[in-house]
Structure 1
Amino acid sequence: MEHITLLIGIVIITALVFDFTNGFHDTANAMATTISTGALTPRIAVAMSAGLNLVGAFLSIEVAKTISSGIIDEGSGVQPEVIFAGLVGAIIWNLLTWLAGLPSSSSHALMGGLMGATIAAVGTGAVNGDVVVMKVLIPALAAPLVAGIASLCATRLTYRLARHAQEEQTAKGYRAGQITSAALVSLAHGTNDAQKTMGVITLALVTGGALAPGSDPPVWVIASAGMAIALGTYLGGWRIIRTMGKGITDIQPPQGFAAQTSAAATILASSHIGFSLSTTHVCSGAVMGSGLGRKGGVVRWSTAGRMVVGWALTLPAAGLVAAGAALLAEQGDWGVTAVAVLTVAICGAIWLRSRREPVDHTNVNDVRPAGAPVPAQAAAGEAPEPAGVVTTALQAVAPAPAGTGEVSAAPALSGTAGPEERPGERPGEQGAHAAPGRPASASASSVS
């Protein structure tokens, strides 16, 4: 019993670490558009988002029930070390995608990790396939479409209602609207995503015999999950904020307001009915919809395509890592220890790699072309260091930030010119104006 108690404690700590990574990984969902348009300063934005994530954690437990007693069969013989392995897969995938600045789904990383570890340890019969299809896969496909269509309509309506107003007159109203809608998204994120960690901890307590099957999360579980995701949110996932705010489309305040309002409504509705929805999918779809909704707006479809590739990889990638961790953890105490040590080493290596090119609140809205030297290298007059194999592979699915030449490759919508085109010039001439003194081919090339 002491071994089970210690193992449950390890699982709870690991679940809270995942919740922490979920917080800074998904800060962009609520605050990227608000920060990119200047409605709020970066530090104030993440502080507000953190507080509302904490409040949101106490509003519902429907999603927690889906995680704790829906996806995994509690009576199938799943042990706490299997849940530990599932969390390890989710944490590693979260950190890898954060390093690459890729807005992927923390929710799907968690579910992929849990399913991969369970299948490796117990078998496919322990996973409730119908629940996975109805409450995970179908919402994953529907969420970005629903949020995108809602955002497209809201954006067009917003511009139509304000078409006769002066921009100076509407600026304050849109700023207030963006702040309010960002607050709603933050509240919705805490309501939806914090519950997933509550569900995992509850599942661990059930498998360890500390709770009866079908029990609701205890109050201390709700509070600890809320605080972990709030702390992670406050630290800010600046790399992903840069991608969400600058890489998908050029967002103006009316678009930001429409996108965030649509995303908040979609997430809150899904939380109410117990759908374990990915806030990343919802918010990304809403941002793309806002780009389609503005006349003359451009969505960078190549960037969106790479994001979709990353989304498709999340479930299997986290599942494979978790399956390997589960097979090792099942070898006994030494196996659990080995998994823990390897996880800490991998996380430490990812963090050290991120320090070579830090992104924080001071430079989150800056865009540096790929291959250019980082500031420290530039000051020393050094040439950029060539990318390694892992970095190159991650960049293959990571969205390219705005300003790197991908806009010229994106299709214009409704026959309108992209933001880098000039009246009267042919499409092939726009690169000549992109940067004085540089060849047109260099400015128009893709650097992803």
Structure 2
Amino acid sequence: MELALVAAVVLIALAFDYTNGFHDAANAIATSVSTRALTPRTALLLAAVMNLAGALISEGVASTIGSGIITPTANVHGMTVVLSGLVGAISWNLLTWWLGLPSSSSHALIGGLIGAGLAASMSVHWATILEKVVIPMILSPLIGFGLAYAVMIGLLWIFRKAHPGRANRGFRAGQSVSAAAMAFGHGLQDAQKTMGVIVLALVTAGLHTGSDVPLWVKVAAAGAIALGTYSGGWRIMRTLGRRVIKLDPARGIAADTTASAVLYVMAIGFHAPVSTTHTVSAAIMGVGATRRMSAVRWGVAGNILVAWVLTIPAAAIVAGLVYTFARLFLP
């Protein structure tokens, strides 16, 4: 029974990773596609390759997810907690994907684990959640917005005398690099979250000790998110690339560069599982605000903000209900 649950958790975790890939593909490529710097399929292939590379680099975020959110008991109910958390996260991912809202897969996963853990009366590490999740969740979009605004102002000043056509061609070419950097940051952050869940399941089942990530887990999670990314996330891509602000190549490269820098610092420096969605959305708003504040479609931005606020509690409620229902069939 327990081994079957472990296998189910691993498979569902990889399914979550896949939904994370197609849900968050827009984060990496929305700007380059909307400015026509890259064709959609080329951009998706580039994003998938860089997702794979980023996923294999570090284990800091995986460690936070695997041991810093909840401490499930080493029995069948502990495995059910992990499984329920994944179902809650996947449910929210699919709903927001269908609605075209760029919500956070990261926070959906964290919310799912919290909800299932509370339903099972397990220890939830609130101090770690505050330090590694809540504070970075607030700071990363604020930093993304402010830094992107400053970077764009700097680019406008540096290239103020440049020929617009030549400057645009240069920025459009540079977007291939900035999109690759953004996709690398997505892999560095989001694939590791799935690795952490699988390690959590293995430790709960007594099949692994410590928080280090086995190579097969890295390869499986990296492959799943890369495959999901390549399958595309067209609904959310339209929201980020067109509906929030009409991007030009210069603003696209500024948004991608800023967002990827924030992701790298949070993952490698602080081991904080921040949202790529929050960060790049805020960066896009930041570069858009350099035109004029009214250039940003704040109504669309408000809908995105509502999804951000609801993500953790909504995923937690679904996961808690799934755990409660599953207990009816467990000894």
TM tier, smaller: over 0.9
Note the 1:135-174 alignment, pairs <5 A: 135-174=132-171
Per-residue deviation, residues 115-134 of structure 1 (Å, max 9, x unmatched): 101100124xx100001111
CA distance in structure 1 between the partners assigned to 2:73 and 2:181 by the alignment: 37
Is the CA contact 1:76–1:122 (under 8 Å) kept in the aligned structure 2?
no
Cα deviation for residue 172 of structure 1 reads: 2.4
Cα deviation for residue 211 of structure 1 reads: 0.8
CA distance in structure 1 between the partners assigned to 2:190 and 2:140 by the alignment: 15
- Tell me how many residue pairs correspond in the alignment: 329
Per-residue deviation, residues 248-284 of structure 1 (Å, max 9, x unmatched): 1111111001000000000011010201100000000
Note the 1:217-232 alignment, pairs <5 A: 217-232=213-228
CA distance in structure 2 between the partners assigned to 1:208 and 1:120 by the alignment: 20
SS in 1 for 2:37: coil
Alignment correspondent of 2:85 = 86
CA distance in structure 2 between the partners assigned to 1:38 and 1:215 by the alignment: 42
Per-residue deviation, residues 302-347 of structure 1 (Å, max 9, x unmatched): 11111111111101111111001001122336x9xxxxxxxxxxxx
Equivalent residue letter for 2:158: L
Does residue 52 of structure 1 match 2:50?
A: yes
CA distance in structure 1 between the partners assigned to 2:50 and 2:279 by the alignment: 18
Does residue 233 of structure 1 match 2:229?
A: yes
Alignment correspondent of 2:65 = 67
CA distance in structure 1 between the partners assigned to 2:319 and 2:21 by the alignment: 21
User: Which one of the candidate residues 4, 10, 19 is aligned to 1:21?
Assistant: 19
Specify every segment of 5 or more residues in structure 2 that has no aligned partner in the other structure, as ranges. none
Alignment correspondent of 2:211 = 215
So what's the TM-score if we normalise by structure 2?
0.97
User: Which one of the candidate residues 6, 10, 13 is aligned to 1:12?
Assistant: 10
Equivalent residue letter for 1:332: F
Specify every segment of 5 or more residues in structure 1 that has no aligned partner in the other structure, as ranges. 336-448
Per-residue deviation, residues 99-127 of structure 1 (Å, max 9, x unmatched): 0000000000000001101100124xx10
Equivalent residue letter for 2:302: G
CA distance in structure 1 between the partners assigned to 2:63 and 2:174 by the alignment: 33
Per-residue deviation, residues 10-61 of structure 1 (Å, max 9, x unmatched): 0000000000000000011110011000000000000100011001111100
Alignment correspondent of 1:321 = 318
So what's the TM-score if we normalise by structure 1?
0.72
CA distance in structure 2 between the partners assigned to 1:26 and 1:105 by the alignment: 8
RMSD of aligned residue pairs (Cα, Å): 1.4
Cα deviation for residue 171 of structure 1 reads: 2.3
Structure number with greater CO (CA < 8 Å, separation at least 6) is 2
User: Which one of the candidate residues 266, 271, 277 is aligned to 2:267?
Assistant: 271
Equivalent residue letter for 2:82: I
CA distance in structure 2 between the partners assigned to 1:296 and 1:9 by the alignment: 50
CA distance in structure 1 between the partners assigned to 2:298 and 2:193 by the alignment: 31
Alignment correspondent of 2:296 = 299
Cα deviation for residue 76 of structure 1 reads: 8.1
Between structure 1 and structure 2, the one with the greater Rg is 1
CA distance in structure 1 between the partners assigned to 2:10 and 2:185 by the alignment: 23
CA distance in structure 2 between the partners assigned to 1:35 and 1:144 by the alignment: 22
CA distance in structure 1 between the partners assigned to 2:213 and 2:74 by the alignment: 20
Equivalent residue letter for 1:28: A
CA distance in structure 1 between the partners assigned to 2:73 and 2:99 by the alignment: 38
Alignment correspondent of 1:101 = 100
Equivalent residue letter for 1:83: V
Structure (1 or 2) with the greater helix fraction: 2
CA distance in structure 1 between the partners assigned to 2:244 and 2:232 by the alignment: 19
Is the CA contact 1:74–1:206 (under 8 Å) kept in the aligned structure 2?
no
Cα deviation for residue 296 of structure 1 reads: 7.8
Is the CA contact 2:37–2:176 (under 8 Å) kept in the aligned structure 1?
yes
Equivalent residue letter for 1:229: I
Cα deviation for residue 73 of structure 1 reads: 2.1
Is the CA contact 2:74–2:204 (under 8 Å) kept in the aligned structure 1?
no
Equivalent residue letter for 2:220: S
SS in 1 for 2:289: helix
CA distance in structure 1 between the partners assigned to 2:286 and 2:121 by the alignment: 42
SS in 2 for 1:293: coil
